[in-house]
Amino acid sequence: MTIAARLIATVTAPLDPGTAEAPQVLCWPDRTLLVQRGDAEVVAVDVDQPDAGRGAEIRFPAPWPRRFGTVTVSPERDAAVFAGVHAVRSVEATGATRWEVRHGCWGGCPQLHASFHEYADDEDHLHADSGSAAVSADGELVWAHVRGPLVSDGNTEDDQELWVVLAAAAGRPVGRMNTGTVASSSEHTSHPDPSQMGLSLGEGEEGSPVLWGRWDGQQLTAELVGDERILLAVSPSGRRLLTVPVGQWSLSLHQLENGWKVARKLDATDAVPAHPQNTGNGRVYWDFEAAFVDEDTVVAGTSECDARYGSVRHWLVDVRGMDLLGEISYPVPASGPARAAGSGRWHTISKDGTTVYLWGLAQEN
């Protein structure tokens, strides 16, 4: 069975893909932004403004080149938050630094660097590990995964990785905990409740834990959702999570009522037919990204394993029983995985990285 998708909007990436990262889409309950980072600047576009083009752009000067960390933007686009090798820095569109929280070096050296220029030309820092940051749905908190210690801790040799909650206005740490990880990268997944956040940590061959954090106003706590998993998406209510194991063989649904344990799963080999151009024994597996369309349905792809055969495929899944409803049919060829876009939508990015397509279901299913 095929299920028709309708094209809701087409947004042109603001930066040249040859000199910038691929565009990403950040979603909160009432805001969806396209964000793209180059070496010198970060551009944030509100895709729901009537003219989602030049008039909707806000540009933030970057404090260091893109290879040195990650970036996110606040829902109101009043600041870009750069999670760098030595610091988390909040920058306004004017270029003014709102605040900076310095921490241990992701490059593996014991120094607490005062500035990027101390290691800008050091080959050992060119491929440093990295943390990440995310802004809460209400814009009041910044959640950051950093290398310890914080400079505010004083003269200490504690180099544990930390998950820190910061006041977004001033950068003041209000909550923290050790993650107990040795990560090379991480990624936050926002929740509609500002006091909750998901964190996927990549430890290479050591593991891939997913943590679920809660900030009660006094203390930051976290529970382990899974040890060899990637967090894909959060449902609109925030009561359901979707993950995939690092082997990518099954989609797994986690429910708050079950303490985020796996409630149901859908095995790709059992549910998804082989690609029409696959004449061999190539394994079918799920992508590392997916999107909730509503509380009960998800668009998930097999684009990574399909790509070698030509056209990629996306699927609509009913998570109530983890049933495959059918293949998504697009009016124009889609590429890459299906990713969240908020408000019942998902998005894809063109192969050349110049265009973001926002999609919805053509009719209720």
Q: With a cut of 80, say whether residue 52 has pLDDT above it.
A: no
Mean pLDDT in residue range 108-123: 93
Task: Report the 10 Å Cβ neighbour count for 323.
Answer: 12
Judging by DSSP bridges, how do beta strands 297-301 and 290-292 pair with one another?
Answer: antiparallel
| pLDDT per residue as tens digits for the range 247-294 | 999 999 999 888 889 999 999 999 999 888 887 778 899 999 999 999
Q: Give me the residues paired with residue 2 across strands.
A: 327
For residue 237, the model assigns a pLDDT of: 95
d(CA 29, CA 188): 16
For residue 365, the model assigns a pLDDT of: 46
Q: Is 270 helix (H, G, I), strand (E, B) or coil?
A: helix
DSSP alpha helix (H) spans, the chain: 123-126, 268-271, 303-306
| pLDDT per residue as tens digits for the range 17-48 | 999 999 999 999 989 999 999 999 999 999 98
Q: What percent of the chain is predicted at pLDDT more than 90? A: 84
Judging by DSSP bridges, how do beta strands 210-215 and 196-202 pair with one another?
Answer: antiparallel
Specify the DSSP element, H or E, that contains 123.
Answer: helix 123-126
Q: Is 228 helix (H, G, I), strand (E, B) or coil?
A: strand
Judging by DSSP bridges, how do beta strands 220-226 and 229-234 pair with one another?
Answer: unpaired
d(CA 71, CA 12): 20
| pLDDT per residue as tens digits for the range 119-151 | 999 998 999 999 999 999 999 999 999 999 999
Mean pLDDT in residue range 91-99: 98
- Whole-prediction pTM value? 0.95
- Give every strand in the sheet of 210-215, ordered side by side: 185-190, 196-202, 210-215, 220-226
Cα 138 to its chain centre, rounded Å, is: 18
| pLDDT per residue as tens digits for the range 286-320 | 999 999 999 999 999 999 999 988 889 999 999 99
Task: Report the 10 Å Cβ neighbour count for 281.
Answer: 6
Q: Is 205 helix (H, G, I), strand (E, B) or coil?
A: helix
Indicate the burial class of 134 (C-beta count within 10 angstroms; 0-12, 13-18, 19 or more).
buried
d(CA 133, CA 143): 5
**Residues contacting residue 161 through CB under 8 Å, at least 6 positions apart:** 131, 145, 146, 147, 148, 178, 179, 180, 181, 182, 183
At 350, is the pLDDT very low, low, confident or very high (cuts 50, 70, 90)?
very high
Q: With a cut of 50, say whether residue 200 has pLDDT above it.
A: yes
For residue 259, the model assigns a pLDDT of: 86
d(CA 42, CA 104): 24
Choose among 312, 352, 306: nearest CA to 334: 312
Q: With a cut of 60, say whether residue 78 has pLDDT above it.
A: yes
Q: With a cut of 80, say whether residue 156 has pLDDT above it.
A: no
For residue 253, the model assigns a pLDDT of: 97
For residue 55, the model assigns a pLDDT of: 52
